[in-house]
Amino acid sequence: MKYHYKSTQYKAIFLYVACFVLFVLYSVHMYIGHQTGIVALSYYVASGTSASSATSSGAWISALLGTLLCIIPALVLARLLHFPLRLKALAFLPSYIILGLITGISPESITATENSIPLLSSIALLVVSAILLFVSLVYHEDRGEHAPIFNYLVPNVFISCVGMLLCMMLTNTDRQLHVQLALADGVHQNDHSVVDRLPHGETTTNNTITALQAFSLSRRGQLADKLFSLPHLKGSNSLLPDTVPASAVYHTTALVYGYLQAVPVGKHRNAAAFLEKALSRRMSLLSDTSATSADSLRARPLVDYYLCALLLDRDLSRFSDEVYKHRTVDATLPRHYREALTLYHSQDSLAKRMYEDLPMDSVFAGYAELREEHKGDVLMQRKACVRSYPHSYWNYYFYGYNNTDYQTHN
C-alpha cells in the first residue's frame, strides 16, 4: 500500500524502524544466549577461524551476521507487499521463524524425536502468518490514517509479541551444546583448565563432552591418574566422541582422533576394540628399526587410552596382560593402573604375575574393610565408599559414577 499523506508516511517509517530495532535487539539476544552449531558454522565460513570461537570472542560478530541474514526476508516481503500500518510488523514474522529454527537446532537433536515439537510450532506459526497476510490483503484500506500513532503501534506490538513467543517455542535450548562448545574452545586455545570449571550434573552426560574432558586430561598427562574423577563414565565409549550430524563443526572428532593418530574405519564393538586395533597397528610400525624413541613417546597417549578403555569396560584380566606389555610396572605407574592391579590380584589368586604395591595394598585393605562393614546395605556401602575413597577406580568398578552420592562430593 502506498501512503499519500505526509503524516501517514512518517508513521509508516516510524513503525518500520520500530519493528526493525525491536527485531534486531531480540535477535542478537537470542543468538548470544542460544547460539548453536549453525551459527558457529556461519561465523566459521565468514572468518575462517576456529568454529568454536564463535561462542566466545566472535559471539557478537556471529550474532550480527545472523541477524542481518534473518532481516533479508523481512526486507524482501516488505518490498513485495505493502502492508497497512496496523500490520507493518507482519513483514518480520518469517524472520522470527528463521531465528527460532536456527537458534533451536543443535547437532545432538537433529535426528531426535523432540524435533516434532518445534516442527508443530513452526507449522502453527506459518498458519498464523498466512491468516494475517490474508487479512492484510483483503482489508487493504488503511482506515483512519489520521489517527494517533498509538492506534497503529498496539497491533504491531501484538504481532511482534506473537513472533517472539512462537520463536521461543521453536527454540530448543541445548545446555549440553554450550558446555561442549565452551570446552572445545578452551581445548583449542590450550586452556585445559576449562575442564575443571565445567558444571557437573545433567549438562555433562554425553560422550562428546566426556571425550573432550578425557582428551584434556591426556594432554596434561593425567588421564590415568584422574580419569575417574569425571562423572557419567559409561564404558570405553566414554573416551571417544559421539557420532552426530555436523560434529565436524566443532572439530571434536578431528581433535581427538588426530591426537591419537588413529581414525575409526567401519564398525567396532566398542571403543576398546577400536583402540586395540589402532594400537596394534602402531606397535607394528614401531617395530621397524627406523622408529625412534620420539615415535614411541608419541604412541603413549594411544597406549593410555587403550588401557583406560579396558578399565572402563571392567576387563581386569586383559588389562593385567596389556599393562605389562606397554608400561613399566613400578612405583611410577599411574594411580588408576595401580588401583586396578591391586583389585585384580585381590580377586584372582592364580594371576599370571605377582604384583605388590604396599602403599596401595594398605589403602585397598581399608576399602575392603569398609565394604565389609556395610555388607548388608548396598546403598550405604556405596555411599560410604564414595565418600571415603573419592575418584578411585574401585568405586567405578563396583558401583559406577551414575549416582547422587558422587555428585554431592565431587
Lowest mean pLDDT among 211-220, 287-296, 312-321, 379-388: 287-296
Whether residue 62 has pLDDT greater than 80: no
Nearest to 146 by CA among 344, 315, 311, 11: 11
Whole-angstrom distance, CA of residue 310 vs CA of residue 306 = 6
> Which tens digits make up the pLDDT trace of 75-87?
888 878 777 777 8
Residues 6+ apart with CB under 8 A from 89: 15, 19, 156, 157, 159, 160, 163
C-alpha torsion angle, residues 361, 364, 365, 369 (rounded to 10) = 180
Place of cell 588413529: 262
Whole-angstrom distance, CA of residue 380 vs CA of residue 2 = 77
Whole-angstrom distance, CA of residue 233 vs CA of residue 230 = 7
Whether residue 41 has pLDDT greater than 70: no
Tell me if residue 5 falls in helix, strand or coil.
Answer: coil
Whether residue 22 has pLDDT greater than 60: yes
Q: Give how far Cα 220 sits from Cα of 199, 226, 291, Å.
A: 20, 10, 25
Whether residue 403 has pLDDT greater than 50: no
Whether residue 265 has pLDDT greater than 80: no
351 versus 232: the higher-pLDDT residue is 232
Residues 6+ apart with CB under 8 A from 342: 355, 357, 360, 361, 364
365 versus 84: the higher-pLDDT residue is 365
Our measurement of the distance from residue 233's CA atom to the centroid of its chain's CA atoms, rounded to an integer in Å, reads 16
Mean pLDDT score of the chain: 75
Lowest mean pLDDT among 60-69, 209-218, 276-285: 60-69
Lowest mean pLDDT among 290-294, 332-336, 355-359: 290-294
Whether residue 252 has pLDDT greater than 60: yes
Tell me the CB-side half-sphere exposure of residue 7, using CA atoms within 13 A: 7
Whole-angstrom distance, CA of residue 50 vs CA of residue 46 = 11
Grid cell locating 215 = 582428551
Specify the pLDDT at position 108.
Answer: 42
270 versus 265: the higher-pLDDT residue is 270
Whether residue 363 has pLDDT greater than 80: yes
